[in-house]
């Protein structure tokens, strides 16, 4: 790998972190490289920059495309594919949230729905189903919220984030104004406890 030190540090870090995030080292490095690059890179350039095999790069960009974190780009007069990472980091956050949800949350939700349909045949199972019900409700709430937030534009999203904890004050104000919580969906408490 022969990169400016600043870029190299970042790329190596993403490679290491890749492990924790469920993607492999090479994939992390490719993304890091493209994220920092000021122009689309072709597979050959990536191969040289990272010192990994050509085929490995091929697999890597494919995976990143599946995550929608990287786009193919055709430069006029060049037959080779070029790759780039979208610029808008807010959009990146949305994409990440969406894809992770699809992979990590949705399968669990569907399993929970299945299991909750079955009839318990012992107190032990009844208790277990109760717990699963709690979990299901909570996840649905989180997913619904996430869906809603996805739709916000960059500015509103930033406002929301900047607001932080003072949101609770805001909630107070709102309930005073409207007398009830307008967007209310469902009650989900944690009244059960050992």
Partner DNA sequence: CTATGATTTCTGTAACGACAGAAACTTGGA
Partner DNA sequence: TCCAAGTTTCTGTCGTTACAGAAATCATAG
- 25-54: contacts with DNA (CB under 7 A): 25-27, 42-44, 51-54
Distances (CA, A) of 167 to 153, 172, 187, 190: 19, 9, 20, 22
Is residue 13 close enough to count as binding DNA by CB under 7 A?
no
Is residue 59 close enough to count as binding DNA by CB under 7 A?
yes
DSSP state of 72: E
Task: Name which of 53 and 91 has its Cβ closer to DNA.
Answer: 53
Task: Name which of 32 and 61 has its Cβ closer to DNA.
Answer: 61
Phi/psi for 85 (5° steps) reads -100, 130
Is residue 190 close enough to count as binding its own copies by CB under 8 A?
yes
Size of the site for its own copies (CB under 8 A): 84
DSSP 145-178: HHHHHHTS-HHHHHHHHHHGGGHHHHHHHHHHHH
Phi/psi for 74 (5° steps) reads -105, 120
Cβ atoms of 118 and 91 closer than 8 Å:
no
Query: What's the rounded Cα separation, in Å, for the pair 179 and 48?
Result: 63
Is residue 75 close enough to count as binding DNA by CB under 7 A?
no
Query: What's the rounded Cα separation, in Å, for the pair 21 and 103?
Result: 12
Task: Name which of 58 and 99 has its Cβ closer to its own copies.
Answer: 99
Contacts of residue 8, Cβ cutoff 8 Å, sequence gap at least 6: 1
1, 7, 8, 24: residue in contact with DNA (rule CB under 7 A): 24
Phi/psi for 22 (5° steps) reads 80, 15
Is residue 65 close enough to count as binding its own copies by CB under 8 A?
no
Task: Name which of 40 and 60 has its Cβ closer to its own copies.
Answer: 40
Give the x-and-dash track for 67-106 against its own copies (CB under 8 A): -----------------x--xxxx--x---------xx--
Query: What's the rounded Cα separation, in Å, for the pair 6 and 105?
Result: 36
Is residue 142 close enough to count as binding its own copies by CB under 8 A?
yes
Task: Name which of 74 and 185 has its Cβ closer to DNA.
Answer: 74
Choose the one of its own copies, DNA, none that binds residue 102, judging by a C-beta under 5 to 8 angstroms depending on kind.
none
Applying CB under 7 A, the residues found at the interface with DNA are 19, 24-27, 42-44, 51-56, 58-59, 61-62, 79-81
């Amino acid at each position: 790998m022969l990169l400016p030190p600043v870029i190299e540090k970042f790329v190596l870090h993403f490679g290491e972190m890749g492990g924790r995030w469920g993607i492999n080292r090479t994939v992390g490095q490719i993304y890091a490289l493209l994220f920092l690059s000021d122009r689309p890179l072709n597979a050959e350039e990536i191969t040289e920059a990272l010192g990994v095999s050509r085929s490995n790069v091929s697999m890597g960009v494919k995976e990143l495309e599946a995550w929608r974190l990287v786009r193919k780009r055709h430069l006029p007069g060049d037959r080779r594919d070029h790759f780039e990472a979208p610029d808008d980091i807010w959009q990146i956050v949305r994409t990440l949230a969406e894809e992770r949800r699809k992979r990590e949350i949705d399968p669990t939700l569907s399993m929970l729905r299945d299991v909750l349909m079955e009839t318990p045949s012992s107190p032990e199972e009844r208790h277990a189903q109760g717990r699963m019900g709690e979990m299901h409700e909570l996840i649905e709430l989180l997913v619904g919220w996430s869906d809603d937030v996805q739709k916000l534009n960059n500015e509103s999203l930033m406002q929301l984030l900047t607001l932080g904890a003072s949101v609770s004050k805001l909630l107070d104000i709102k309930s005073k104004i409207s007398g009830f919580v307008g967007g209310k969906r469902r009650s989900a408490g944690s009244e059960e406890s050992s």
